[in-house]
Amino acid sequence: MAKLKTRYVCQACGSETHRWQGQCPDCAEWNTLVQEAAANATPFAAKHNLQGGGRAIELVGLNAAVALPERMQTGIAEFDRAVGGGIVPGSATLLGGDPGIGKSTLLLQVAANVANLGRQVVYVSGEEAADQVRLRAIRLGLGGASVRLAAATSVRDILTTVGGDAPDLLIIDSIQTMHSDLIEGAPGTVSQVRASAQELVRFAKERGTALVLVGHVTKDGNIAGPRVLEHMVDTVLGFEGERSHQYRILRAAKNRFGGTDEIGVFAMEGAGLKEVPNPSALFLTQRGEAVSGTSVFPALEGTRPVLVEIQALVVRLASGATPRRAAVGWDSGRLAMVLAVLEARCGLSFATCEVYLNIAGGYRLNDPAADLAVAAALISALSEQPVPQDAVVMGEIALSGEVRPVGHAALRLKEAAKLGFGKGWVPAGTDGPGSIALAGFGKLKELVEQILGR
């Protein structure tokens, strides 16, 4: 019998040490080492190599015929789109997101929809009592769906129960509440999360059940537990959004069965999550008369254009106090850069002004193609000259003050035209659909002149 050693596992990065330390030697996080029982060391195996004595495995050519797994449509188009066209049987999916963002709501709706399509669905909640989940289902109008429900946390109990007749879809909410009796440790520790996930994923692969795990995220937005959890599953989905805003975006961070550039857009309403097939309408605020300090940018989410409004406010300071710069939904370093280029290349001074920048609707932009739209909002706010209401603006700004081309310009402009925009302020040389009148800008200075009407 091998000696049972203890080890200390970092709950942030999963690295192991033999001694307790205040700081993890690998990732430098503090107070993350937790004592766990080590797996039984087998001195015999360690002394020998693995070359020989095993079973021969079958090696196949790349061109061997493969049957593509038939995807299971959930009937929620925005969900299917985000996972690449439906859930693959036998696959494991991890859904992460902030607490209260709507993970349980989304999966309950998915479960009910799949069940209504005639599939076997089991929903296991380790966080809420079965009655709580049932009450929510009734409130969402899903009480009639034949989802089988349980509140449980023991992976052995769960797999024993569903093992006889494996369901088409098994939802575990959440993996951090599960525990495996094969190893010691409280639920939520790295080794428990890893062991529970491993067993569940193995069950899914062997029985052809589509498995969906809910994962908690840490304060910096990573899925709690080691990265190894993300490696064990086929698909990692993130459910994002601001709790104070309605919209939610479902985005794949990893997908072994599809691309990661499609998103699903939902709005959290009184009766659960509603699909938003036309996201632009959500982010464009009611646009009455033209006001200064706003511009519209045709953003791209994967292959999907989303029009967002950029708002800027410039407040002149009387005294010599240091002016504030604040950006919500946009990188503040990039805001500083655009301001510096406006100052150095176009002679517009914001030095004595406070500058605030906001992306409407709680949207987060990190596409440099939005530079020109940010600049337009800033110039417009400073000069109090509105950007035309029916114009969309895009272009990347170089430090030299030149305007650089953006990717997928035609796609962005097509969406703008569809929503009734008639003008496009774009980098010089950009082509677009005929229905939109383009003004090309080679230099940022030309945009300033356009807005100031010179």
CB of 92 to Mg ion, least distance (A): 19
Which lies closer to ligand TYD via its Cβ, residue 71 or residue 216?
216
The residue count for binding ligand TYD (CB under 6 A) is 14
CB of 126 to Mg ion, least distance (A): 10
**At which residue do the structure tokens 């299917």 appear?**
80
State in Å, rounded, how far the first CA of the chain is from the last one.
87
Give yes or no for a contact between 174 and 217, defined as CB atoms under 8 angstroms apart: no
Which lies closer to ligand TYD via its Cβ, residue 268 or residue 348?
268
Give yes or no for a contact between 7 and 38, defined as CB atoms under 8 angstroms apart: yes
Ramachandran quadrant class, 429 (left: phi over 0; alpha: psi -120 to 50; beta: rest): left
Question: Looking at 99-107, 157-165, 367-375, 423-431, which segment touches ligand TYD (CB under 6 A)?
Answer: 99-107
The residue count for binding Mg ion (CB under 5 A) is 1
Extract the tokens encoding 156.
């052995």
Q: Which of 102, 215, 226, 305 binds ligand TYD (CB under 6 A)?
A: 102
Q: Which amino acid is at 353?
A: C
Binding residues for Mg ion restricted to 88-117, rule: CB under 5 A: 104
> Burial level of 413, CB count in 10 A (0-12/13-18/19+)?
buried
Which lies closer to Mg ion via its Cβ, residue 5 or residue 243?
243
Q: How far is CA 454 from the centre of its chain?
A: 43
Give yes or no for a contact between 113 and 273, defined as CB atoms under 8 angstroms apart: no
Which lies closer to ligand TYD via its Cβ, residue 110 or residue 406?
110
Binding residues for ligand TYD restricted to 137-166, rule: CB under 6 A: 140
Q: Which of 104, 177, 191, 255 binds ligand TYD (CB under 6 A)?
A: 104
Question: Looking at 5-13, 44-52, 100-108, 426-434, which segment touches ligand TYD (CB under 6 A)?
Answer: 100-108
CB of 11 to Mg ion, least distance (A): 21
Which lies closer to ligand TYD via its Cβ, residue 13 or residue 150?
150
CB of 104 to ligand TYD, least distance (A): 3
Beta bridge partners of 121: 169
Query: Is residue 101 involved in binding ligand TYD (CB under 6 A)?
Result: yes
Helix (H) or strand (E) holding 421: none
Which lies closer to ligand TYD via its Cβ, residue 25 or residue 143?
143
Q: What's the rounded Cα separation, in Å, for the pair 108 and 134? A: 10
Task: Write out the DSSP string of 204-236.
Answer: HHHHT-EEEEEEEB-TTSSBSS-THHHHHSSEE
Q: What's the rounded Cα separation, in Å, for the pair 125 and 172? A: 6
Binding partner of residue 100 among ligand TYD, Mg ion, none, CB cut-off 5 to 8 Å per kind: ligand TYD
Q: Which of 77, 271, 281, 399 binds ligand TYD (CB under 6 A)?
A: 271
Spatial CB neighbours of 415, under 8 Å, sequence gap ≥ 6:
280, 298, 305, 306, 307
Which lies closer to Mg ion via its Cβ, residue 133 or residue 346?
133
Binding partner of residue 54 among ligand TYD, Mg ion, none, CB cut-off 5 to 8 Å per kind: none
Q: What's the rounded Cα separation, in Å, for the pair 211 and 153? A: 16
Binding partner of residue 22 among ligand TYD, Mg ion, none, CB cut-off 5 to 8 Å per kind: none
Question: Looking at 25-33, 45-53, 93-101, 160-168, which segment touches ligand TYD (CB under 6 A)?
Answer: 93-101
Binding partner of residue 102 among ligand TYD, Mg ion, none, CB cut-off 5 to 8 Å per kind: ligand TYD
Which lies closer to ligand TYD via its Cβ, residue 15 or residue 246?
246
Which lies closer to ligand TYD via its Cβ, residue 7 or residue 136?
136
Binding residues for ligand TYD restricted to 110-139, rule: CB under 6 A: 136
Pairing of strands 6-10, 294-301: unpaired
Say what the alpha-carbon torsion angle 424, 425, 431, 436 is, to the nearest 10 degrees: 20
CB of 127 to Mg ion, least distance (A): 6
The contacts found for 78-81 with CB under 8 angstroms, 24 or more apart, are 78/250, 78/264, 78/265, 78/266, 78/275, 78/276, 78/277, 79/106, 79/110, 79/250, 79/264, 80/264, 81/262, 81/263, 81/264
CB of 267 to ligand TYD, least distance (A): 10
Which lies closer to Mg ion via its Cβ, residue 104 or residue 292?
104
**What are the φ/ψ torsions at residue 346 (nearest 5 degrees)?**
-120, -5
Which lies closer to Mg ion via its Cβ, residue 104 or residue 113?
104
Question: Looking at 102-110, 116-124, 153-161, 327-335, which segment touches ligand TYD (CB under 6 A)?
Answer: 102-110
- Residues found in the chain: 454
Q: What's the rounded Cα separation, in Å, for the pair 157 and 232? A: 22
CB of 360 to ligand TYD, least distance (A): 21
CB of 168 to ligand TYD, least distance (A): 22
Interaction site with Mg ion (CB under 5 A): 104
Task: Please report, as ranges, the residues that interact with ligand TYD according to CB under 6 A.
Answer: 97, 99-105, 136, 140, 268, 270-272
